[in-house]
Amino acid sequence: MREEDIKLDAVRAKFSNVLKRHADLAERLSRDSDKSIFERLQREFEAARASQAQELSLEGEQWNDGLLATIRERVHMEAERKAMQMPGDITQLPMSFLEKITYRVGNKIICCLEGARIGIQYETSFAGESCDLYHCVLESKSFLEKMTVLEHTVPFFLPIRDTENEFLSSNAIRFIDHVGDLLQAYVDRREQVRLIKELYGNQIGELYHSLPYHMIEFVLEDFDSKVTVSLRYADLISTLPTGVSVLAWPMPKSKKSSDAISLSQKENVVGSHPIPACLTYAEDALRTMSLPEAYAEIVLNLPQTLQDMFPHTSST
C-alpha cells in the first residue's frame, strides 16, 4: 500500500506540473497576442472620447434598437461625408450628426470610430474595484447590411464568435449585452479564485481550474481529513456554481490509531480505501455565497464537523 501511495504522489506531482505549464502557456499566448490590439484600440477609444461633444448615460429602455440604428446611421453618414467632402466643407450633414457622442450603458462605453465602425469598451469590476478593460469593434459595409465583429480583445476561450453567429445579425443589442455579461462573469469567477488563494493559500494543497474558471477544483489539507471541493457552473455567465461537491476523506494519523478504530468506525472503510462523507453544509454555502464568503463559512465549522464525522482521525 505504501508503494502505491508513492507512485500516486509521483503521478499527481507530474500532472500538477503539466497543468501549471499549460496555464502559464495559455496566459502568455493570450497576453502577447492581444497586447498590440489592446494598446491600439485603447488609443482609439481614448481619442474618440477626447473629441466627443458629449457623453450620454443611458438606462433601461433608453438602450434600444432605435438608438443603435441611429449610431449606425451616424457612423456611415460620417464616413460618407469624409469620403466626399471638399477641404473645409462641413455643410453636407446636419450639425446634430457632426457632433461626436459617446454613450455609456452600465459597464459599456459605445463610441463612433473612424471608418464606419462602432466600438464597445467593456469595463469589468470586482468587489467595487475596477479590473480589466476589453474591446469589441463592429462594422458593416453599409447601413443596410448586417454588422460583423471586426476585431476584439475578448479572451480567446470565451465564445465571442458563437455569440456573434447567434445574436449579432438578429439582435445586436443582445449581442453587445451578452458579451458584457460573459466578460464580467469571467472576471468575477477569476477574482474569486484569486482571492481565496491570496487569503487561504496555506490551507489549499492543490487547485485546478479551466481557463474560463467555469470548472474549479481544490483540496484542503490543513485539517485532520482531506477535503476535496469540485465546482461546476451552468454556463459562462454564472458567478455561482450549480454543480457542487464537497467530500471529506478520513485520514488516520498513524497505523496505531488506525488499528484502534472500532468496528462501527471501520464501516467508513472498504478494504484499504476510505469512504468519503459529503459535507452538505459546505455545498449549500458554495451554491449561495461567493467563493471567498463560502470558504470562510466552511472552514469556520470544518474542524468540529470533521471531528463529529471521523472521531478516530481527530488530532485532539
Mapped to the 3 state alphabet, what secondary structure does the chain carry?
CHHHHHHHHHHHHHHHHHHHHHHHHHHHHHHHHHHHHHHHHHHHHHHHHHCCCEEEEECHHHCCHHHHHHHHHHHHHHHHHHHHCCCCCCCCCCHHHHCCEEEEECCEEEEEECCCEEEEEEEEEECCEEEEEEEEEEECCCCCCCCEEEEECCCCCCCHHHHHHHHHCCCHHHHHHHHHHHHHHHHHHHHHHHHHHHHHCCCEEEEEECCCCCEEEEEECCCCCEEEEEEECCCCCCCCCCEEEEEEECCCCCHHHHHCCCCCHHHHEECCEECCEECHHHHHHHHHCCHHHHHHHHHHHHHHHHHHHCHHHCCC
Q: Assess whether pLDDT exceeds 70 at residue 11.
A: no
Per-residue pLDDT reduced to its tens digit, 32-72:
556 888 999 999 999 988 888 788 999 999 999 999 999 99
pLDDT at 148: 96
Q: Between the CA of residue 175 and those of 9, 77, 167, 169, what are the distances in Å?
A: 46, 23, 5, 9
Cell digits of residue 256: 496505531
pLDDT at 259: 44
* Enclosing H/E stretch for 50: helix 2-50
Q: Report pTM.
A: 0.81
Q: Which amino acid is at 157?
A: F
Cell digits of residue 83: 469620403
* Mean pLDDT confidence for 286-291: 97
Q: Would you call 153 helix, strand, or coil by DSSP?
A: coil
* Confidence at 115, pLDDT banded by 50, 70, 90: confident
Per-residue pLDDT reduced to its tens digit, 266-285:
445 444 557 889 999 999 99
Q: Assess whether pLDDT exceeds 80 at residue 126.
A: yes
Within 8 A by CB and 6+ apart from 64, the residues are 173
pLDDT at 310: 82
